[in-house]
Amino acid sequence: MESLKGKAAIVGLGITPMGKIYGHDAVYFAKEAVRLAVEDAGLPKEDIDGLLISPGTTPLGGLAGLALQDHLGLADLRFVNALFLGGATAASIVQFAAMAVIHGLANYVLCVFADAPLREDRGGGAAYAGISSAATQPRGLTELHQAFGLFGINAQYALAARRHMHLYGTTNDHFGAIAVAQRKWAAMNSLAQERTPMTIGDYHSSHWIVEPFHHLDCCLVSNGGVAVIVTTGERARDLRQPPVYVLGMGQGHRGNLDRPGWNADTVTGAVISRDTAFRTAGIGLDDIDICELYDCYTYTVLVTLEDYGFCEKGEGGPFVADGKLGPGGSLPTDTGGGMLSGYYMWGMTPISEAVIQARGQASERQLPKHDIVLVGGNGGNLEHHCTLILSPYPS
C-alpha cells in the first residue's frame, strides 16, 4: 500500500458533556458534537461535503442513521454512509474518510457517533440488556450458548477472560491493575464520569457482574456524542487547530467460527490490523508513545496489548501488573480514563483522547512525548478490530 503519511488529517473535534445527561436523544447529541467540531476546526459548515455515521444503541435520525444528514442541515454532500462494526466502527469510518479525501471523493468529511441509552428511570445495565437479548436470539448452533447459560455480552467477554486465565494464569489482580491505572488518568480529565480515586482493594470489593468480572472491570454507559472532521493534509495546515495526521491504518476481522480449537477468545483481529497499520505508517512498536485502546472490559485491554506485540501471548497479566499503563508508566494507555472511567462513546472514546494528546491539549494529563499515538478499536466479541496510527507530524 502507498504511504499515507501527511495525506489526511483530523482537523476538528467535538465532544459533548458525557454521562447521565438526561432529556435529550441521540440526534441532539450528534448535532451538538458536530457544532463543536465545526467550530473547533474553524470551518464554515457549508464546506462539509462528507458524512460518515457510527450508530449506537438508540435511533440516530432514521434510515439506520442516514437521515442524520437532514437533522444536521447538510445539503449536496458528495460522500455519505452509516457503517457498523460495533466498537471498531469509529476507527473504520475515519479510515474511509481519509481514503475519501485523499482520492478526491470529498473535501471535509464528518465522522459522528452519538448515543443516549440512559434514562432517569433505567440504569446502564437495563439499557443494554434488551439490545443484547434481541441481537442474540438463538439460531442454529448458537442455541448451545443459551442452553449452557451463556447470555449477553458481559458473559461472552467473561468467558473469554476466563479462558485466558485458565491458559496463562492471568488473575483478577492483573485486571485490577488496568482499572486502577485508568482511574488515575480519569482523575485528571474534566470530562470523565468517574474521577474518585480507586485502589486495588476498591476493585476487589466491587460487586460481581459475571465472574471473573467485577463491576470495575466493565465499561461505563454514557449519553453523549463525539464528532471529528477529516480532510487532506494540505488543507489541514490552514485551519484553526494543529492537524493530527493519519500515518497508518489497518483492519482485522477474525470472525468466530465456533469450531473446536478456534481461539477467538485469546487471539483477536488486532494481530491482522496491527500488521497493516504498522506497515502503512512505517513504524514499529518502539516508536509508539501512547496507546488509546478500546476497553469495554479490562480483559480487552490486556489481550489487545498482547496482540499488538507489546508482550508475548499469555504474558499480558504480568506485563500490566507494575502500573506501566498509568501516569508515570512506560506505556501510557487510555490516558483520559478510557471507557472504564472516562466515558463510553464506543470507538470514539480512544480516538477523541488520541486527538487531544496528539495536539498537546490534554492539560494536566498531557504526555510530553506524543509523536506517535496508537488507536485500537474492538468490535463484536473480539472478532473485529481497526487500528489508526496518529501523529502531530505528517511524516
The answer to whether 299 is a known catalytic residue is: no
| Residues ≥6 apart with Cβ < 8 Å to 280 | 1, 3, 4, 247, 248, 249, 250, 389
- Show the cell assigned to 150: 451463556
DSSP lists the bridge partners of residue 98 as none
Q: Do residues 375 and 388 make contact, with C-beta atoms less than 8 angstroms apart?
A: yes
- Show the cell assigned to 94: 475515519
The DSSP-derived string for 6-22 is TTEEEEEEEE---BS--
- Total Cβ atoms within 10 A of residue 59: 16
> Percent helix, strand and coil across the chain, each rounded to 5?
40, 20, 40
DSSP lists the bridge partners of residue 375 as 292, 388
Q: What is the 3-state secondary structure (H, E, C) of 183-218?
A: HHHHCCCCCCCCCCCCCHHHHHHCCEEECCEEHHHE
The answer to whether 344 is a known catalytic residue is: yes
Q: Do residues 249 and 5 make contact, with C-beta atoms less than 8 angstroms apart?
A: no
Q: Do residues 48 and 75 make contact, with C-beta atoms less than 8 angstroms apart?
A: no
Chain centroid offset of residue 21 CA: 21
Chain centroid offset of residue 139 CA: 29
| Residues ≥6 apart with Cβ < 8 Å to 140 | none
The C-alpha atoms of residue 282 and residue 277 are separated, in whole angstroms, by: 8
Q: Helix crossing, 152-168 with 298-308: angle to 10°? A: 50
The C-alpha atoms of residue 314 and residue 291 are separated, in whole angstroms, by: 19
The C-alpha atoms of residue 4 and residue 23 are separated, in whole angstroms, by: 42
Catalytic residue, chosen from 108, 168, 294, 299, is: 294
Enter the DSSP assignment of 258: -
The C-alpha atoms of residue 230 and residue 291 are separated, in whole angstroms, by: 21
Active site residues: 294, 344
